[in-house]
Amino acid sequence: MRVLAMLDGTITDPETPVLRVDDLGVTRGDGVFETILVVDGKPRELGPHLDRLARSAAMLQLPEPDRAAWERCVRVVLDNWRGPSEMALKLVYTRGPEFGDGTPTGYAMGLPIGAKVLAAREAGVAAILLERGYDPEIVERAPWLLLGAKSLSYAVNMAALRHAEALGAAEVIFTAADGSVLEGPTSTVVIASGTTLRTTPPSSGILKGTTQGALFRAAERAGWVTKVEPITVAELRDAEAVFLASSVRKITRVHTLDGVALRDTSALHKELTALYESEY
């Protein structure tokens, strides 16, 4: 069950090839994307996702995304969805064909949430720390590294996940050269200690997470203290609980870190998931 709408609003058969072989999104990963959770026909954090799509596009010097066209395209997918109550809605925006007229390629695709993600929401995941190999300080100095853009060049992120799988874990938490914690390949790291939630700042070259944003909004209302500041690996290991947050996985608990079982945080996980859900 998948639904595909092109940016001009036309519904297209997802089994039919629609991309040109010279599309720069395919040949160079030159484009940006978003993945949005839709529950009962309602997209979560659509505004922040479209904001981030625009920020990512600006970082890649792509033409500014036409927000109204994207909103229409999203609506077409939502209106044509006949699948389960939860959908992953992917927006893809590339530089378009290399030998074309310069028009970017854009489409939105709705698809069911993968079984692995659904299982991890309940059971949690084992994660390992892997180096990303740069200092947070490089973010300002080297904008061409596109740190903080959600670009289509995710081969490194996927390779990190395969590396973790080969070592018997399911997830990765990247660390910077200075030993600070960054993010997961497709998630934001959130740690909890007492009544404080913490996450790392986007200035360290990570994506600003929309799920983490929603969780922190709800948590603040419920009296939690939230902090967006650098986290050291020692603080991560000492935290009461470690979570990976992203749109489709919601708030997923890390039960094992670098092979060491963390304490049982199921009750806290339930509480934070309820807070996050209270936003919708």
171 binds ligand PLP (CB under 6 A): no
Q: Is the CB of 212 or the CB of 265 nearer to ligand PLP?
A: 212
- Interaction residues for ligand PLP, span 185-214 (CB under 6 A): 186-188, 207, 209-212
Distance CA 187, CA 248 (A): 10
Q: In terms of CB distance, is 97 or 151 closer to ligand PLP?
A: 151
Per-residue contact track with ligand PLP, 212 to 241, x per CB under 6 A?
Answer: x-----------------------------
Contacts of 41 (CB under 8 A, 6+ apart): 78, 81
Per-position DSSP letters for 224-241, written without gaps between them: -EEEES--BHHHHHHSSE
Interaction with ligand PLP in 26-45: which residues (CB under 6 A)?
A: 35
**Residue 91: CB partners within 8 Å, gap ≥ 6?**
33, 34, 35, 36, 49, 53, 70, 73, 74, 106, 107, 108
What token pair was written down for 168?
């018997």
Q: Using the rule CB under 6 A, give the single segment among 128-136, 139-147, 179-187, 254-262 that binds ligand PLP.
A: 179-187
Sign of the Cα pseudo-torsion (169, 172, 177, 182, in order): negative
Nearer to ligand PLP, 97 or 124 (CB): 124
Among 151, 199, 247, 252, binds ligand PLP (CB under 6 A): 247
Comparing CB distances to ligand PLP, the nearer of 209 and 230 is: 209
Q: How far apart are CA 72 and CA 52, in angstroms?
A: 17
Question: Which position has the token pair 């040949």?
Answer: 27
- Name the residues that contact ligand PLP, by CB under 6 A: 35, 183, 186-188, 207, 209-212, 245-247
